[in-house]
Chains A and B, each alone.
Chain A
């Protein structure tokens, strides 16, 4: 692909003016005459049987229109979808409200109160009397595996949802023949996705059509699913994702509330609105991560890795959501990282616990994979007294080895890991940093340098559990005036594809970027789509736009040739005008070709009118971005505080369509990644109460808490799509967490500290150093 003036340009996001001037329309901005509001009553218990629900008082409260319990819902709704059916997976069916009489996590919905105002609904929700019989609960996924542990889903008879294994080579032999083995146990704490906009749904049934506005990443999947859940023909359902204030995976789900609000709108014949409160968002929207990883790495004295063994226990929470099993299985697939590890074995076990369900959260299984291998490489370096850089270099998959198949089954498309590493080291002046570190240690100051080299997997089509297959659709439609409308089945919610997709079309057709509008998130406007997740939007959705634009161009050339009475092969174009080669006076403007395209009598015989192409792009293979993150911290051993000194990221996402937007994705990604390292972490007590229930206790960093980022990149195009692009939405998160943790542990190396549990808060540093005379 040739990067033209439009593609690769630093164009500011076209969506920003409306966002920063308050003109964007979110779900909660929608108001209709006669609209009623829903408040949901949720379980305060982690595990309990509902003895009875008394809704009498709530029904009598002022403004109340209806109160539904599970029984009411069951009469009108089918079950929610359960995620992709992986091998021998056991997962229960569930409904939009609890109907089988057992709540399984704090936040499980038990009743819905509908009233004429939001306040009235909220007030009346306190009047619903639920009599619970508390049951023993299980919080820890390892405890959930023990015999005798409380079972969440009695009919399944086990808390194990699935077991998968990945691997190849001979791991036993590799370990037996190795000189050193390093081991660690990693707790990937749960994280709250905390999108700025909480979830929200408005539904209206009017004129034989159910319209559902929902804050989602996957409107088309919601539409197909709702057809089953509310039992309406799919063509009578119209789903709109209006402006969506962030998702990070938490809106990559079809939630009970979407079915509930739709069913209420159908039953009541009035528009219905539900807006999730922040408290609900913490307990009823999926959490991310939640994994315990046992890692063993075997190597030779010279640092060559011989084998890797991983046992990952995934805390699925109470239910399997849309993609829940797809997350830890990504960890199994990607655990070899950037390294040539001939023998590897990973076992992944998904376990139910009495907690909020987990699902995809920025990175979805790849941060866990990168973290475990990057921590293991640092442990190995320490064990062998080698520089962490050298251990990595020694084991990198060399550029000539691509495409490269890992023993766990991933086929990496392209890469040059050493080039990214070198660039980062150079930018950081690594040698000078190590000298400074040595000097400061003598003064009792503790500088740490952390490196993470990552490779990750993007460009998913869809997974079996989704209603779409492994594809994305795009329509490029040249209007009769020559303006261009693009319809994409992806559903951007902050990523900026209204800008980059316009750039792609502008690049292919030669029309100005301003002449292209990109529509998304509306199942009536965009006939087919899968959605935005897994860093797939550009490599898959963008490629669909690219191919559709190419096809439009081909047709335009044919029309121009016909109008100019020349052969299509003789037509050249600069976008604005088509010209017969060698006869500059014989030419026609693009906008005239567009106009003629809609006049059947002007077209070549047999050609259908219109300049409008829909393309389904089906990626042959996934694509694998990579890079090196390098972080420098200083640790105060007396208070335990960690201060960032520098942060350098060199990322390779193949061809860059717009450097500004790539930087934006990397920035946000790093913030979320470093947040996991030192700030964020869900804490439950041993009875399943969420202790980090507000932003006052769940610590999300603010701008002042993060360092300035020094970004750079290398470009290794992917052979698997016409853009040569790889996704970049999650790379920052994936690289950041291990870079920061490695830096902190590097700083604490003189104290003999080898491992620390995330988030590495001041108290954890202090606890690790307690009793250490050097620090007292």
Chain B
């Protein structure tokens, strides 16, 4: 479990970090929490020549609301989200998700930005961010780019991020009135990547119909997935048992899981159905003011 040789650099500003990435190109990797990258390096499945450690850069660990969005910094750890009063009181989906990622040790180090940049289909934040329609702010040599999460994931471990860009911030829209969210995960043990997990976000109108619906799916495809058909099934409808069941079925049909040790594809599809049902019920309940 000894990684290949690499050079370690620790820039003190984002500009410096980007400069290093520009210089080293695909040979370099950003090091954030290290809890996805270092395991791969120890197995020599990944052997970057340069590690650009962004942990010394100040001002990247924010977690605050400003006009219209919640800003999550590149060094904001899973544990920061898990323990934040702001997140607990206003972003139930994020609070749910933070609690079920890995174990406390990993949560103390791992970052939301790193999780998205890593683009592991089993990453919980990918599904959560798809459900809430987050935006990824990428800082490169030129201007910052704001990438809608829907356009961010390309393939397993692959994003639209350029080799000389770093994720500097994630922006999550502030919750609307009468909104609620939930994140549910089935895992083989605490700290395990999901067998399947789902994030649901709903905004109800005055009549109690779904004005907005966001559904993200974890570990049931080559990337984190948005369940677009399930969202459409529900949009504009009052989320009664029938509507929820229709959405759950749609999601289970549109996901694309592979059979593996966690279970056959049919099981994962069914799990998506069950979890979407439960998570939608909980999101709706929360939108109506319940816990």
Contacts and interface: CB of A to CB of B under 8 A. Distances in A.
A180 interface: no
Given A704-B190, A762-B188, A279 B103 contact: no
A279 B43 contact: yes
Contacts of A692: 261
Contacts of A767: 263-264, 267
B50 interface: no
Contacts of B266: 770
A38 to B, nearest CB: 13
A763 B267 contact: yes
B188 A761 contact: yes
B262 interface: yes
Given A279-B1, A639-B186, A766 B267 contact: yes
A640 B264 CA distance: 13
Contact of B189 (A638, A639, A679, A770): A679
Contacts of B5: 119, 123
B2 A763 contact: no
B121 to A, nearest CB: 14
Given A279-B43, A691-B261, A679 B188 contact: yes
A652 B261 CA distance: 38
A249 B4 CA distance: 33
Given A641-B186, A699-B188, A766-B270, A278 B263 contact: no
Interface stretch (B151-159, B191-199, B211-219): B191-199
A641 B188 CA distance: 8
Contacts of B61: none
A154 interface: no
A21 interface: no
A770 B274 CA distance: 13
Interface string A742-771: 000000000000000000011100110010
Interface residues of A, number: 30
Contacts of A387: none
A72 interface: no
Given A679-B188, A699-B189, A705-B189, A638 B267 contact: no
B195 A762 contact: yes
Interface in A625-639: 638-639
A767 B195 CA distance: 14
A702 interface: yes
Interface string A241-285: 000000000000000000000000000000000000111000000
B184 to A, nearest CB: 9
B194 to A, nearest CB: 11
B2 A119 contact: yes
Interface string A679-722: 10001000000011010110111101100000000000000000
A379 to B, nearest CB: 26
A638 B248 CA distance: 13
Nearest to A279: B1
Contact of B103 (A118, A691, A702): A702
A766 B270 CA distance: 9
Nearest to A641: B186
A122 interface: yes
B271 interface: yes
Contacts of A639: 186, 271, 274-275
Q: Which of B186, B188, B262 has the most CB of A within 10 A?
A: B188
Given A278-B1, A639-B271, A763 B195 contact: yes
Interface in B33-57: 39, 43
A640 B188 CA distance: 10
Contacts of A704: 103, 190
A680 to B, nearest CB: 10
Interface in B242-283: 261-264, 266-267, 270-271, 274-275
Nearest to B268: A763
A353 B99 CA distance: 43
A766 B274 CA distance: 12
A691 to B, nearest CB: 6
A766 B266 CA distance: 10
A766 B263 contact: yes
Name the interface size band of chain B.
20 to 34
Contact of A697 (B186, B191, B261, B274): B261
Nearest to A278: B1
A702 B275 contact: no
Interface string A98-132: 00000000000000000000110011000000000
A638 B274 contact: yes
A701 B188 CA distance: 9
B191 A702 contact: yes
A64 to B, nearest CB: 15
A119 B103 CA distance: 30
Interface in B157-205: 186, 188-193, 195
Contacts of A702: 103, 189-191
A536 to B, nearest CB: 32
Contacts of A699: 188-189, 192
A762 B186 contact: yes
Contacts of A770: 266-267, 270
A123 B195 CA distance: 35
A700 B188 CA distance: 10
Contacts of A641: 186
Contacts of A694: 43
Q: Which of B103, B189, B190, B275 has the most CB of A within 10 A?
A: B189
Contacts of B39: 696
A696 B189 CA distance: 10
Contacts of A700: 189
A734 B207 CA distance: 59
A696 B43 CA distance: 13
A773 to B, nearest CB: 14
B154 to A, nearest CB: 24
B54 to A, nearest CB: 25
Contacts of B275: 639
A700 B190 CA distance: 10
Interface in A656-689: 679, 683
A731 B133 CA distance: 53
Nearest to B184: A639
A691 B259 CA distance: 13
Q: Which of A277, A761, A766 has the most CB of B within 10 A?
A: A766
A186 B252 CA distance: 34
Interface string B59-99: 00000000000000000000000000000000000000000
B33 to A, nearest CB: 16
Nearest to B271: A639
A691 B39 CA distance: 17
A73 B266 CA distance: 51
A691 B262 CA distance: 12
Contact of B263 (A697, A701, A762): A762
A754 B170 CA distance: 50
Contacts of A766: 263, 267, 270-271
Given A702-B189, A702-B190, A763 B263 contact: yes
Nearest to B186: A639
B185 to A, nearest CB: 10
B190 A696 contact: no
B224 to A, nearest CB: 18
A118 B186 CA distance: 40
Interface of B: 1-2, 4-5, 39, 43, 103, 186, 188-193, 195, 261-264, 266-267, 270-271, 274-275
13 contacts: A119-B5, A122-B2, A123-B5, A278-B1, A279-B1, A638-B274, A640-B186, A679-B189, A696-B39, A699-B189, A702-B190, A702-B191, A763-B263
Given A639-B275, A701-B189, A766-B271, 20 more contacts: A119-B2, A119-B5, A122-B2, A123-B4, A123-B5, A638-B274, A639-B186, A640-B267, A679-B189, A691-B261, A692-B261, A696-B39, A702-B103, A704-B190, A705-B189, A705-B190, A763-B195, A763-B263, A763-B267, A770-B266
A-B CB proximity, top 8 nearest: A763-B263, A704-B190, A122-B2, A638-B274, A277-B1, A705-B189, A699-B188, A763-B267
